[in-house]
């Protein structure tokens, strides 16, 4: 997929004359967090009169006891990012094992998960526009295609919080590669090269083959991306609500989201199917219960590109 590759700086580590000073964490702006790690924004001081772009620093969470697993994951993620070059994958900037262990990455505006939370906090109940959902399908589908075919890697934790968005969906980038898994030439989880690694993921976004046991393939990522489209419609994590129920109806089943993991959540009742026909089509195909019926990431991106070209951006 040479058409996706863009030139990047060949520098993959800090030079001795380009040292950075990381202030204490209270003086850093938190961008996000994960299991055992925090992501902070570092605003770098100007150099030679030139303003330098900020970095996102992924660091081990000080509240968590030193853990070899988290350290090894951060090292593995840094090694992987250094080898990747794609416009829809967050860029590598630096990795340091000095006093503070950190992975420096390209900083983006917000994660899609944060954008969803912000809408809820501001009581803006409008779902994202159809073209915005399709743009996520195009950009992240392209990133997954590169990951699956060029790198032969499964992301393993697709969800809104691992998608970064610049501006009004000018560009979307995939991030967080701490739990990736190797794929073979057929796009199947390569257990022989995986060591002790297993599918990690997040249950609410996990495919049926993960929840019920089955063959993990590149289509497992596609399912999770499909549920991310649903997030943009419902403004909620998958399976956290049941839009088929009337507000006056309460039952034990409606509260048991765990039993619904690995299933297709219903479309929220406020979604106009005619207006959202393109995003809904992508959603239904990506969340086919049979993995083989889901599109490849390449096909998803190609269809999304055609849809986007024919859509009005309101």
Question: What is the set of active-site residues?
Answer: 157
Residue tagged 């295609």 (tokens): 145
- Give the CB-side neighbour count of residue 247, counting CA atoms within 13 A: 1
Write the burial class of residue 49 (CB in 10 Å: 0-12 exposed, 13-18 middle, 19+ buried): exposed
CB contact set of 296 (below 8 Å; sequence gap of 6+): 145, 148, 187, 218, 219, 222
CB 205 within 8 A of CB 228: yes
Measured between alpha carbons, how far is 57 from 55 in angstroms, rounded to an integer?
6
Measured between alpha carbons, how far is 157 from 162 in angstroms, rounded to an integer? 8
Q: At what angle do helices 130-145 and 219-234 cross, to 10 degrees?
A: 160
Q: Outline where DSSP puts E strands in 260-313.
A: none
Q: By CB neighbour count within 10 A (0-12 exposed, 13-18 middle, 19+ buried), where does 29 fall?
A: exposed
């Amino acid at each position: 997929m040479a058409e996706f590759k863009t030139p990047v700086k060949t520098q993959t580590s800090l030079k001795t004359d380009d040292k950075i000073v990381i202030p204490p964490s209270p003086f850093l702006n938190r961008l996000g967090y994960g299991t055992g790690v925090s992501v902070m924004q570092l605003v770098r001081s100007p150099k030679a009169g030139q303003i330098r772009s900020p970095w996102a620093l992924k660091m081990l969470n000080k509240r968590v006891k030193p853990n070899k697993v988290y350290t090894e994951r951060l090292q593995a993620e840094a090694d992987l990012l250094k080898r990747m070059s794609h416009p829809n994958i967050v860029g590598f900037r630096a990795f340091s094992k000095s006093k503070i262990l950190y992975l420096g990455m390209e900083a983006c505006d917000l994660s899609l998960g944060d954008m969803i939370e912000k809408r809820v906090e501001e009581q803006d109940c409008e779902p994202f526009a159809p073209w915005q959902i399709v743009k996520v399908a195009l950009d992240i589908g392209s990133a997954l295609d590169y990951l699956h075919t060029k790198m032969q890697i499964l992301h393993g934790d697709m969800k809104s919080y691992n998608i970064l968005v610049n501006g009004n969906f000018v560009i979307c980038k995939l991030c967080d590669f701490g739990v990736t898994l190797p794929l073979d030439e057929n796009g199947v989880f390569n257990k022989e090269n995986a060591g002790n690694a297993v599918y990690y993921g997040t249950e609410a976004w996990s495919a049926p083959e993960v929840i019920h046991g089955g063959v993990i393939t590149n289509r497992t990522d596609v399912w999770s991306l499909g549920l991310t489209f649903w997030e943009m419609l419902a403004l909620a994590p998958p399976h956290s609500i049941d839009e088929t129920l009337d507000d006056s109806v309460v039952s034990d089943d409606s509260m048991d989201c765990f039993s619904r993991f690995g299933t297709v959540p219903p479309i929220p009742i406020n979604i106009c199917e005619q207006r959202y026909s393109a995003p809904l089509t992508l959603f239904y195909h990506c969340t086919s219960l049979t993995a083989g019926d889901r599109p490849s990431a390449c096909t998803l991106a190609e269809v999304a590109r055609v849809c986007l070209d024919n859509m009005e951006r309101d």
